[in-house]
């Protein structure tokens, strides 16, 4: 019986010795593989505690899988404060002001111009002075740098709250360290249970210097099971997608095929809150009484403040902004807006004393870094000035006339001193050139046109033609107290007509049957081509711009007839002197002379062989007219534009994406900016921000049907006759003008 006990004691002793040896070996680090396999502990503050959120920690949320985007019905806004926005109208400092302010901005309170000047002075006396103007620095460095922190923090909180990233597994502001304890990267959120690193950015940019750190983290064997999720509040920039695509390719996929690097677009538009003050910049857009400390304010205003007049100056500005954005929180700026497509698309209720809400649309620039949008102030001013021209002058003055028989009646004298009048007359002449160009037999369309015309004695013999542009019924919707201008298309009318203007050469006299046949060919082939160009070509963008402002102005005129608005003193005042022609000097008589030269000498020549002879034809000519409208039903509007009211309300406060079109932006404002109600935020410390803003698009209830909104009086009456082509023929030379 004792033997088994002895063996048992020996066995136990042996096991104890083995355990002791193993303990020593492990303590000495002789088994590095076992040490590497130990779980990594990441430390940070619980996200719900950081943002003081309540939720159900037992049911924490997570991000949508793969590359994804928030559904459009859920797009919304969030507020952030930046009281420095109220200083965007501050004038550049004098030498005396810089000397008084010094270089220590902390000496001065928020809202004191000396605080701004001291900060600027400190930058300009540093080793890296700002290379742009004071106004550029003010908007893109002083104001926006302060906004990025509060905006980024506000969006961070919104993502955590919206997606319920609460509970012990979701940690925020987590530092990822290497094996030596050195910080590799700091992520906005991490979930060790689902193994997700999350980087949250309110804008659509990427920080180049963060990418090598992302690569290092993803290559670290300790994190081989982790995913990296980038969350954006705006549509990512083109370069962002390229950079993340490269990172995704390097990081590879999980064993189940899921990509380790994905992007989630939590689309939400930030709205800055601040209290306007004596140094806030306002602009005169659609404002009937602009004054020093009041006027239009909103998303359009912010973009115009930063827009440059040329592509190169805008490109330089974008580069300065990018260099000053170490966080990647930069929002889409004016370089991302194609101002050449800017049009007025909504005006709200013109309630006296309350200001007018308005909203514009513009296309996005696909690559703003290399090809930025520019010229915002010029285009917005054209729209606004035209709006007031349509209100102040009576409709019988809205005509232009390029007729070789009537050199004394080109356009009304007062209308001829406005940009609206200039645009209409220049568009009229442009259409004459285009009409002739589409008939050129050297083109496929021109050849088809002449092949289908009936000849006279074996030669082309085209009758005189009067052409003019008039609007097709514009699609509008009166709702939410205002009017949405959904579409304002233009059409080309063409009829046979002759003039008495004498041209050299033998007259070409087609028969009535030939005129009727050839006119049908004109309407079948040439008219649609010209219409398409007017609807799409940049050469007619100003014409489309001033026409939509005409639709809005007529609606204001109709509302004022029912009840007095802030525009009453302007309407039918017959005085448009406050909105004269801007830019280069222009005289409608010079345009008339260019037209006459085109009519007399032609735009181009082509040869026609017949009977052994060569005939030379010279081509040139054209004209313009009206605008009726029809209301879209509530059912149609809701079916096709369910997100438009929401997007429009947002655009009054800040620029936003159009949920109905990936290519469009909405940006607007209010003509009488005023602080929001409620408590004003306490002024922030240096570099931060604070309280209240101009705003809001009132919703006044259900829709009200619009009457036949624009009758003949509403029309862009560019009445007048202009012969496009008057055919005359003689051997060796024929004029068709």
Distance CA 39, CA 53 (A): 29
Top pLDDT among 67 and 502 is at 67
Instruction: Please state which of the ranges 26-35, 376-385, 531-540 shows the lowest mean pLDDT.
Output: 26-35
The answer to whether residue 32 is domain-embedded is: yes
The number of CA neighbours under 13 Å toward the Cβ of 491 is 11
Claim to verify: residue 160 and residue 21 sit in the same structural domain: no
Beta bridge mates, 482: 479
Claim to verify: residue 477 and residue 599 sit in the same structural domain: yes
Phi then psi dihedrals of residue 657, to 5 deg: -70, 150
> Could you tell me what percent of the chain has a pLDDT over 90?
54
**Mean pLDDT within 337-364:** 95
Of 27-41, 359-373, 534-548, 577-591, the range with the highest mean pLDDT is 534-548
What's the DSSP call for residue 507? B
Distance CA 717, CA 720 (A): 9
Nearest to 113 by CA among 96, 97, 129, 124: 97
Is pLDDT at 331 greater than 70 in this prediction?
yes
- Give the dihedral sign, CA 435/440/443/448: positive
Claim to verify: residue 17 and residue 55 sit in the same structural domain: no
Is pLDDT at 160 greater than 60 in this prediction?
yes
Q: Would you state the structure tokens that stand for residue 553, as one six-digit string?
A: 């102005």
The answer to whether residue 703 is domain-embedded is: no
Q: Are 473 and 519 in contact (CB under 8 A)?
A: no
Contacts 24+ apart (CB under 8 A), 440-448: 440/604, 440/606, 440/619, 441/606, 442/606, 445/525, 445/526, 445/529, 448/525
Is pLDDT at 686 greater than 70 in this prediction?
no
Task: Note the maximum CA span of the chain.
Answer: 143
Start-to-end CA distance of the chain, whole Å, equals 132
> How open is the CA angle 248-253-254, to the nearest 5 degrees?
145
pLDDT band for position 615 (cuts 50, 70, 90): very low
Distance CA 689, CA 151 (A): 10
Claim to verify: residue 178 and residue 138 sit in the same structural domain: yes
The answer to whether residue 515 is domain-embedded is: yes
Top pLDDT among 79 and 598 is at 79
Is pLDDT at 468 greater than 90 in this prediction?
no
Is pLDDT at 221 greater than 90 in this prediction?
yes
Q: Are 473 and 708 in contact (CB under 8 A)?
A: no
Q: Are 719 and 627 in contact (CB under 8 A)?
A: no
pLDDT band for position 244 (cuts 50, 70, 90): very high
Q: What is the pLDDT of residue 12?
A: 45
The answer to whether residue 582 is domain-embedded is: yes
Q: Range of 151's domain?
A: 45-269
223, 252, 269 - which closes a domain:
269
Claim to verify: residue 195 and residue 95 sit in the same structural domain: yes
The answer to whether residue 438 is domain-embedded is: yes
Question: How many residues are given for the chain?
Answer: 737
Distance CA 422, CA 435 (A): 20
Q: What is the pLDDT of residue 510?
A: 84
The answer to whether residue 158 is domain-embedded is: yes
Q: What is the pLDDT of residue 461?
A: 77
pLDDT band for position 123 (cuts 50, 70, 90): very high
Q: What is the pLDDT of residue 130?
A: 92
Claim to verify: residue 512 and residue 541 sit in the same structural domain: yes
Claim to verify: residue 488 and residue 441 sit in the same structural domain: yes
* Rg, the chain, Cα only: 34
**Mean pLDDT within 591-617:** 65
Of 162-171, 298-307, 428-437, the range with the highest mean pLDDT is 162-171
The answer to whether residue 447 is domain-embedded is: yes
Q: What is the pLDDT of residue 426?
A: 94
Q: What is the pLDDT of residue 628?
A: 55
Distance CA 318, CA 321 (A): 5
Distance CA 552, CA 559 (A): 11
Q: What is the pLDDT of residue 109?
A: 94
The number of CA neighbours under 13 Å toward the Cβ of 546 is 27
Of 42-51, 506-515, 688-697, the range with the highest mean pLDDT is 42-51
Top pLDDT among 615 and 145 is at 145
Claim to verify: residue 162 and residue 23 sit in the same structural domain: no
Rounded mean pLDDT of the chain? 81
Nearest to 227 by CA among 68, 65, 69, 70: 65
Q: What is the pLDDT of residue 317?
A: 86
Instruction: Please state which of the ranges 268-282, 422-436, 448-462 shows the lowest mean pLDDT.
Output: 448-462
Distance CA 366, CA 360 (A): 19
pLDDT band for position 647 (cuts 50, 70, 90): very high
Is pLDDT at 290 greater than 60 in this prediction?
yes
The number of CA neighbours under 13 Å toward the Cβ of 537 is 13
Claim to verify: residue 96 and residue 20 sit in the same structural domain: no
Q: Are 437 and 603 in contact (CB under 8 A)?
A: yes
Instruction: Please state which of the ranges 47-51, 434-438, 526-530, 601-605 shows the lowest mean pLDDT.
Output: 601-605
Claim to verify: residue 433 and residue 500 sit in the same structural domain: yes
Claim to verify: residue 400 and residue 474 sit in the same structural domain: yes
Top pLDDT among 1 and 282 is at 282
Phi then psi dihedrals of residue 277, to 5 deg: -140, -165
Instruction: Please state which of the ranges 259-273, 488-502, 708-722 shows the lowest mean pLDDT.
Output: 708-722
> Could you tell me what percent of the chain has a pLDDT over 70?
80
Q: How many domains does the chain divide into?
A: 3
Instruction: Please state which of the ranges 196-210, 270-284, 453-467, 536-550 shows the lowest mean pLDDT.
Output: 453-467
269, 304, 321 - which closes a domain:
269
Q: Which residue has the tokens 């996005």?
A: 364
Q: What is the pLDDT of residue 608?
A: 53
The answer to whether residue 186 is domain-embedded is: yes
Distance CA 436, CA 622 (A): 8
At residue 404, the 3 state secondary structure works out as coil
244, 269, 294 - which closes a domain:
269
Phi-psi region of 569 (alpha: psi -120 to 50; beta: other; left: phi over 0): alpha
Claim to verify: residue 23 and residue 151 sit in the same structural domain: no
């Amino acid at each position: 019986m004792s033997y088994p006990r002895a063996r048992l004691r020996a066995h136990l002793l042996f096991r104890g010795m083995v355990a002791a040896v193993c303990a020593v070996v492990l303590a000495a680090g002789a088994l590095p593989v076992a040490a590497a396999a130990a779980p990594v502990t990441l430390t940070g503050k619980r996200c719900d505690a950081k943002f003081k959120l309540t939720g159900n920690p037992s049911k924490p949320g997570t991000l949508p899988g793969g590359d994804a985007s928030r559904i459009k019905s859920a797009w919304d806004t969030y507020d952030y404060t930046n009281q420095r926005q109220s200083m965007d109208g501050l004038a550049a400092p004098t030498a005396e002001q810089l000397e008084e302010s010094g270089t220590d901005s902390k000496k001065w309170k928020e809202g004191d111009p000396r605080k701004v000047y001291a900060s600027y002075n400190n930058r300009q006396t540093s080793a890296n002075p700002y290379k742009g103007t004071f106004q550029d620095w003010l908007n893109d460095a002083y104001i926006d740098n302060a906004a990025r922190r509060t905006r980024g923090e506000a969006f961070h909180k919104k993502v955590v709250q919206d997606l319920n990233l609460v509970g012990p597994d979701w940690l925020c502001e987590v530092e990822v360290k290497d094996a030596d304890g050195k910080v590799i990267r700091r992520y906005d959120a991490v979930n060790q249970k689902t193994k997700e690193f999350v980087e949250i950015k309110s804008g659509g940019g990427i920080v180049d210097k963060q990418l090598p750190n992302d690569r290092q983290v993803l290559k670290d064997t300790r994190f081989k099971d982790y995913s990296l999720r980038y969350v954006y509040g705006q549509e990512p920039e083109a370069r962002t997608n390229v950079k993340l695509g490269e990172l995704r390719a390097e990081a590879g996929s999980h064993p189940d095929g899921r990509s380790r690097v994905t992007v989630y677009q939590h689309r939400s538009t930030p709205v800055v809150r601040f209290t306007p003050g004596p140094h806030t910049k306002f602009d005169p857009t659609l404002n009937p009484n602009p004054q020093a400390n009041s006027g239009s304010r909103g998303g359009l205003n912010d973009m115009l403040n930063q827009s440059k007049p040329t592509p190169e100056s805008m490109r330089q500005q974008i580069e300065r902004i990018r260099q000053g954005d170490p966080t990647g929180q930069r929002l889409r700026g004016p370089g991302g807006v194609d101002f050449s497509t800017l049009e007025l698309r909504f005006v709200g209720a013109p309630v006296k004393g309350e200001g007018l809400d308005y909203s514009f649309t513009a296309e996005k620039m696909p690559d703003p870094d290399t090809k930025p949008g520019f010229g915002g102030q010029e285009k917005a001013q054209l729209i606004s000035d035209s709006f007031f021209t349509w209100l102040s002058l009576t409709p019988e003055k809205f005509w232009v006339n390029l007729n070789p028989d009537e050199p004394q009646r080109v356009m009304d004298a007062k209308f001829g001193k406005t940009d609206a009048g200039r645009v209409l007359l220049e568009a009229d002449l442009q259409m004459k050139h285009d009409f002739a160009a589409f008939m050129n037999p050297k083109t496929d369309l021109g050849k088809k046109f002449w092949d289908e015309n009936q000849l006279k004695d074996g030669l082309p013999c085209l009758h005189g033609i009067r052409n003019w542009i008039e609007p097709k019924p514009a699609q509008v919707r009166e709702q939410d107290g205002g009017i949405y201008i959904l579409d304002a298309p233009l059409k080309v009318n063409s009829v046979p007509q002759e003039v008495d203007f004498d041209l050299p050469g033998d007259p070409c006299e087609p028969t009535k049957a030939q005129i009727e046949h050839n006119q049908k060919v004109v309407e079948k082939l040439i008219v649609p081509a010209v219409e398409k160009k007017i609807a799409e070509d940049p050469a007619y963008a100003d014409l489309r711009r001033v026409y939509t402002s005409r639709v809005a102005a007529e609606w204001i005129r109709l509302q004022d007839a029912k009840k007095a608005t802030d525009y009453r003193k302007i309407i039918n005042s017959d005085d448009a002197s406050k909105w004269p022609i801007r830019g280069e000097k222009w005289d409608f008589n010079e345009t008339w002379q260019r037209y006459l030269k085109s009519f007399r000498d032609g735009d181009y020549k082509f040869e026609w062989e017949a009977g052994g002879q060569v005939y030379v034809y010279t081509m040139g000519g054209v004209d313009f007219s009206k605008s009726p409208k029809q209301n879209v039903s509530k059912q149609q509007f809701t079916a096709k534009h369910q997100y438009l009211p929401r997007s429009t309300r947002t655009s009054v406060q800040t620029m936003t994406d159009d949920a109905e079109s990936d290519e469009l932006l909405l940006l607007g404002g209010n003509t009488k900016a005023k602080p929001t109600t409620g408590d004003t935020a306490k002024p922030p410390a240096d570099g931060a921000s604070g309280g209240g803003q101009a705003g809001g698009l009132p919703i006044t209830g259900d829709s009200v049907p619009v009457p036949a909104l624009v009758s003949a009086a509403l029309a862009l009456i560019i009445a007048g006759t202009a012969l496009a082509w008057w055919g005359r023929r003689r051997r060796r030379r024929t004029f068709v003008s």
